[in-house]
Amino acid sequence: MRVSLSWLREYVDLPADLPAGDLEQALVDLGIEVESVVDLRETVTGPLVVGEVLEIEELTGFKKPIRFCKVDVGAANGTGEPQEIVCGTRNFAPGDRVVVILPGGVLPGNFAIGARKTYGRNSNGMICSAKELGLGDDHSGIIVLPEDTPAKPGDDARPVVGLDDVVVEMEITPDRGYALSVRGIARELSHALGVPFRDPADVPAPGATVEPAYPVEVRDTVGCDRFAARMVRGVDPTAQTPGWMQQRLTVAGIRSISLPVDITNYLMLELGQPMHAFDADRIRGPLVVRRAEPGEKLTTLDGVDRTLSAEDMVICDAGLPNALAGEGAGVPISLAAVMGGETSEVVAATTDVLFEAAHWDPAMVGRTARRHKLFSEAAKRWERGVDPALPLVALEKAVRLLTEHAGGTVGAEILDIDHVRPRTPVTLPADLASRRVGVAYSPERVVELLEQVGCTVARGGDRLGEDPGEVGVAAAGRAEVLTVTPPSWRPDLTDPADLVEEVVRLDGYDRVPSVLPTAPPGRGLTWPQQRRRAVARSLAERGYAEVLAHPFVAGELADQLGLPADDPRRRTVRVANPLSEEQPLLRTTLLGPLLGILKRNVSRGLRDLAIYEIGTVFHPRPGAGTPPAMGVDRRPTDEEFAAADAVVPDQPRHVAVALTGELEPAGWWGPGRAAGWADAVAAGRAVLDAAGIPADRVTVRSAEYAPWHPGRCAELLVDDTVVGHAGELHPAVVAALELPRRTCAMELDLDALPPAPMVAGPAISTFPPALIDVALVVDDSVPAAEVERALVEGAGELLEGVRLFDVYASEQLGAGRKSLAYKLTFRAPDRTLTVEEAVATRDAAVAEAARRFGATLRGA
């Protein structure tokens, strides 16, 4: 929100010598974030003058339109001769008055202007746009001054375009929609500085007449609870927007379009009431306000063809047949509360203007704006809440401004379809603010501050005080009860806590003592926290980089991952108000978002990646129902907590990794090694080891489980319970997600792991080991991990370690046979093993493998 100080002074008596720092601090103290306070007089230095375009020569042979102009700048250039300037925009003509900065001037951003030769001509200065002067974001054309501008060529242009003013730019939080207007900011400054405020909406506005200004039917009074309209006929279509209005719109960052449209934008900035102007001659029949039918089309004012949703509200022309919506429903001509349509917009020949001012459901507008990615200035205000009492006031001001500057006749008929419900009073204990904040506010002070906000306060009655012993105030006893009716422009005030916040805000946050609570004694990390940190540390030490992904996924992810139709991971939780309509679901597996991050990094040029994430997944609870409604005036009961928790989705914590490219880089030392399915399995083993699960309780075996390759997928079991899967992703999944070939991944349910048992530290033997290699020939279908398990169990306590170092297959071994070579390490804790002891232990290990799998020693 950008607004000039001169505009604010019309409605609030700001001190004439108010420093910019004091102005900023006053707004900050009220909870309004100030982006900047800029004195425009200091942004442009040097000669900035009014110029009149005398001649324009179109230069050809260049990639873009270039014009060589001669501009009368009076005596500002020292000679009185026309100034030669090269310009690249085409929205002006000979006779127009423009803003010119001459050589020696400096534009915002320290952009110095000089005389130079460009496009084969001399250019002495620049004809300026609003963006170049720092007045807004419009760079589509230069500023053309209104015909009624009193300044003559050579005069200082700063007062003409508003560069003699101070501009305040603020970031308005979602709960303060009223502050997106001059009216709201002026009221806030009157509170902060203790100066009088004059409400721009305090003007007489006639009510509805028997005959409406235009026939309108509102079919959904929830989405639109008020719709008002007035007609002005016979306006001058050539009438220009007055200079003062153009200047204020430009400072606010809004481009001047035409007088009727500029009036709606001007009043939106002044009052906070978005409006729309229709060309009445381009409407065929009555207007119908309704929800859109899925699949209906509308071309909005930005030229985009939009497909509408059933939740969108539209204004329709019932004079146009619509087979999709039914008889009398009409064709959409405006996306209500967001943007108008091309078929009914005000054009250069418009003489009859129908002004519309309504009140729309904020939730509907917010969802519509996000669905269509159309965050118009109107939508920003509607989703934050607009005063429902403003439509008739805005219409009265609109028709008066239009007839004042373009003539015409205001219709005596006024339409006002009003279904607005009165505000619900809020019951507030007078001492609640004192008990919650720790500052003693008397009941009189509370009433005074709430009435400043605009609330109507009725005093009377008492109730027993609550929460004795809260910080700063003893609240035992009886407290007076206030019945507070919030003003129409504050839809955010719905609970006692909201009113308490207003009391604290207006009285001053600086009065609230900074009292830190006594920290409870720490008990250290819980064992699940210790486990998660150990897992994260283990993966990081193995070269994996941690990522944090959003938990939101698209509906087509399950198909992309190739999940079967009956897979539980297809049952998802849909977010009621998603950040993106393209990703409205909560993830049931970490792999979707994790692989999305992998793909994004690959697209940025990275080829060798190993990433991991530890996070929650979400599984719905079928038939859980809806949670109970819980207010903010008290702590929920244990029963309410339990009922709400029963509805919350199950949220187990998972860990997942994804790998692609080379795990060991190539270089002058030799070739690298590409990441493979075995590395994903090794990551799963590392997680289980870091989680404190002994290796003898872990089993790894082949499996078929989407989205992994059926021949290169392993499932990890702890005590015969499957806790995760690892391996190479299915080629179809890799193709669907546009990932590199042979991408590998692992996902494991940390919450499914049993608590880690207490184990004694390893005994370290000081005696030398005995190293023996064995090569066993088994069937090709026998897993190497099972053979290793047999060797461990057969060898007994003297076996210290076993490692697979070679897998070999050849015609000599026979079809369907393979050789597994293991390095066995034997050691005794109390003596040096003899050769006979080591060989006997090896033979016992081989014998167990032979008994289970028919293994034979290779070469025997």
What is the reported pLDDT for 162? 82
What is the reported pLDDT for 860? 65
pLDDT tens-digit series, residues 281-299? 999 999 999 999 999 999 9
Q: 185 phi and psi, to 5 degrees?
A: -70, -40
Number of residues written out for the chain: 860
What is d(CA 221, CA 290) in angstroms, rounded to the nearest whole number?
9
Number of other residues whose CB lies within 10 A of the CB of residue 337: 29
* Maximum C-alpha span of the chain: 117
Among 642, 392, 387, which Cα is nearest to 490's? 387
**352: which residues sit within 8 A by CB, 6+ positions away?**
231, 232, 233, 234, 235, 279, 280, 281
What is d(CA 405, CA 224) in angstroms, rounded to the nearest whole number?
31
> Residue 759 — pLDDT band, cuts 50, 70, 90?
low
User: Is the pLDDT score of 462 beyond 50?
Assistant: yes
> Residue 475 — pLDDT band, cuts 50, 70, 90?
very low
654 and 594 Cβ atoms separated by less than 8 Å: no
What is the reported pLDDT for 466? 45
> Alpha carbon 38 to chain centroid distance?
28
pLDDT tens-digit series, residues 103-145? 999 998 889 999 999 998 999 999 999 888 887 666 678 888 8
562 and 732 Cβ atoms separated by less than 8 Å: yes
User: Is the pLDDT score of 576 beyond 90?
Assistant: no
DSSP letters for 236-302: -TTPPPPHHHHHHHHHTT-----HHHHHHHHHHHHHS---EEEEGGG--S-EEEEEPPTT-EEEBTT
What is d(CA 618, CA 553) in angstroms, rounded to the nearest whole number?
11
What is the reported pLDDT for 787? 94
What is the reported pLDDT for 85? 95
pLDDT tens-digit series, residues 166-175? 889 999 988 8
> Residue 478 — pLDDT band, cuts 50, 70, 90?
low
> Residue 765 — pLDDT band, cuts 50, 70, 90?
confident
Q: 350 phi and psi, to 5 degrees?
A: -65, 130
What is d(CA 364, CA 386) in angstroms, rounded to the nearest whole number?
13
**293: which residues sit within 8 A by CB, 6+ positions away?**
308, 310, 324, 325, 329
Verdict on whether the full-model pTM lies above 0.85: no
The mean pLDDT of 40-62, rounded to a whole number, is 91
Among 386, 411, 385, 388, which Cα is nearest to 398's? 411
User: Is the pLDDT score of 463 beyond 70?
Assistant: no
DSSP letters for 151-196: --TTSBSHHHHTTTSEEEEEE--TT-GGGSSHHHHHHHHHHHHT--
> Residue 473 — pLDDT band, cuts 50, 70, 90?
very low
> Residue 551 — pLDDT band, cuts 50, 70, 90?
very high
> Residue 465 — pLDDT band, cuts 50, 70, 90?
very low
What is d(CA 836, CA 834) in angstroms, rounded to the nearest whole number?
5
Among 99, 134, 164, which Cα is nearest to 2's? 134
What is the reported pLDDT for 200? 96
**184: which residues sit within 8 A by CB, 6+ positions away?**
176, 178, 272, 489
What is d(CA 743, CA 731) in angstroms, rounded to the nearest whole number?
9
Q: Would you state the structure tokens that stand for residue 490, as one six-digit string?
A: 């504050």
Q: Tabulate helix, strand, coil % of the chain (nearest 5).
A: 30, 30, 45
Match 């506010």 to its residue by tokens.
441
What is the reported pLDDT for 353? 96
Write the CA distances from 180 to 131, 174, 451, integer angstroms.
22, 10, 21
User: Is the pLDDT score of 613 beyond 90?
Assistant: yes
What is d(CA 50, CA 154) in angstroms, rounded to the nearest whole number?
5
User: Is the pLDDT score of 512 beyond 80?
Assistant: yes
Angle formed at CA 859 by CA 855 and CA 860, multiple of 5 degrees:
65
The mean pLDDT of 65-74, rounded to a whole number, is 94
User: Is the pLDDT score of 599 beyond 90?
Assistant: yes
User: Is the pLDDT score of 199 beyond 90?
Assistant: yes
Percent of the chain whose predicted confidence (pLDDT) is above 90: 73
pLDDT tens-digit series, residues 656-711? 999 999 988 888 888 889 999 999 999 999 999 999 999 889 999 999 999 999 98
Q: 537 phi and psi, to 5 degrees?
A: -65, -40
What is the reported pLDDT for 460? 77
Please report, in angstroms and rounded to a whole number, the separation of the first and last CA atoms in the chain. Answer: 87
User: Is the pLDDT score of 761 beyond 80?
Assistant: no
User: Is the pLDDT score of 21 beyond 90?
Assistant: no
User: Is the pLDDT score of 758 beyond 70?
Assistant: no
Match 């900050």 to its residue by tokens.
28
